[in-house]
Structure 1
Amino acid sequence: MAPVQPSAPLRAQEIDSLGRAYATGRRKDAVARVWVKPGTGKITVNGRDQEVYFARPTLRLVINQPFGVTEREGQYDVIATVKGGGLSGQAGAVKHGIAQALSKYEPALRSAVKAEGFLTRDSRAVERKKYGKAKARRSFQFSKR
């Protein structure tokens, strides 16, 4: 009978030549390219600070969720470029990218991030408009006369 090995991370650390982990995050129509590296906790989105780009506090909370779950606040710098969609979708895309990049940089964190559902792409998107309807499901107003 073979000896039982301690549970080591099954995945290898994936970092580039500059010591960063890269991941792509998606939400609605937004796509975020995210790089994570050890640092002071500075988050830059499209060349601007997160407070400037995501002015609403709720959007900044969404972005910082992966760090809160893994207890890594202020330990990683994030550089993200986002295209498409609105601000809410872009914040969700950045969150998805940060969670994936964190799990690539520190594979031991993968289970904690996965348990919160941050690695799963949120596939909800706007439903298309149908003919004979005012919107996707709303009918035109009924007129008796």
Structure 2
Amino acid sequence: MSQLSSLQDLQTVETVAAAPVHVQKLDAQGRAYATGKRKDAVARVWVKPGSGKITVNDKEFGAYFARPVLQMVLQQPIVAAARDGQFDIVATVTGGGLSGQAGAVRHGISKALTYFEPGLRPVLKKGGFLTRDSRVVERKKYGKAKARRSFQFSKR
């Protein structure tokens, strides 16, 4: 009797411990959608098969992100997944500054690529592109000049 119950327990543990199966998530137009975030910036990203054109807020990504470092940040997940020139990417991004927006778009592209092609998940996960960078600006506290800086001490 105890062997039978332990066998059943083993089977339930095996079914619970099975790796999650990631399936392709596409909308009616055949696009994968994901939301990326970084600091105060939020990016909505759509990925579809195409010629490799990246558009951010209805502009070419090179015109929107003028600094080469930000352009490189944007392309990191595509290069890591070896899918350069295979997907058209459309992103709308709001909030934050340019650096935060570039990070948000990168996060959104990474998530959308995994929704379009679940086989890319291990590569992007290993590169750290699927992790949301949770660092945000610390709030100002009362009795302080800034978040942590105290007012100047006056002896007299």
Residue 10 of structure 1 corresponds to which residue in structure 2?
21
Uncovered stretches (5+) of structure 1, i.e. residues with no partner: 1-8
Q: Where does 1:36-55 land on structure 2 (aligned, <5 Å)?
A: 36-55=47-66
| Counterparts of 1:73 and 1:95, CA distance in 2 | 14
Match for residue 94 of structure 1? 105
Residue 72 of structure 2 is aligned to residue 61 of structure 1: yes
Q: Compute the displacement of 1:144 (Å).
A: 3.6
Aligned to 1:130: 141
Q: Which has the larger radius of gyration?
A: 2
- 2:46 is aligned with 1:30: no
Residue 10 of structure 1, CA deviation: 2.0
Counterpart of 1:85 (choices 88, 96, 109) is: 96
CA distance in 1, matches of 2:65, 2:87: 19
Structure 2 counterpart of 1:52, one-letter code: A
Match of 2:3 in 1: none
By how many angstroms is 1:140 displaced? Answer: 1.7
Q: In 2, Cα distance between the equivalents of 1:142 and 1:116?
A: 47
User: Which stretches in structure 2 are left out of the alignment for 5+ residues?
Assistant: 1-19
Q: TM-score scaled by structure 1?
A: 0.90
Q: CA deviation digits over 1:18-50, x for unaligned, max 9?
A: 121110111111111100011111110010010
What is the total number of aligned residue pairs between the two structures? 138
Is the helix fraction higher in 1 or 2?
2
Q: Give the secondary-structure state (helix, strand or coil) at the position aligned to 1:120.
A: coil
When the two chains are superposed, the root-mean-square deviation of aligned CA atoms in Å is: 1.5
Matched AA of 1:92: G
- 2: CA distance, partners of 1:68 / 1:15: 22
Q: Does 1:114 align with 2:125?
A: yes
The percentage of aligned residue pairs carrying the same residue is 69
Residue matched to 2:152: 141
Deviating above 3 A after TM superposition, structure 1's stretches of 4 or more consecutive aligned residues are none
Tell me which residue corresponds to 1:19.
Answer: 30
- 1:143 deviates by 3.1
**Partner Cα distance (1:41, 1:52) in 2:** 16
SS of the residue corresponding to residue 132 of structure 1 reads coil
What is the distance in 1 between the residues matched to 2:49 and 2:25? 14
Query: Structure 2 length normalisation: TM-score?
Result: 0.84
Aligned to 2:87: 76
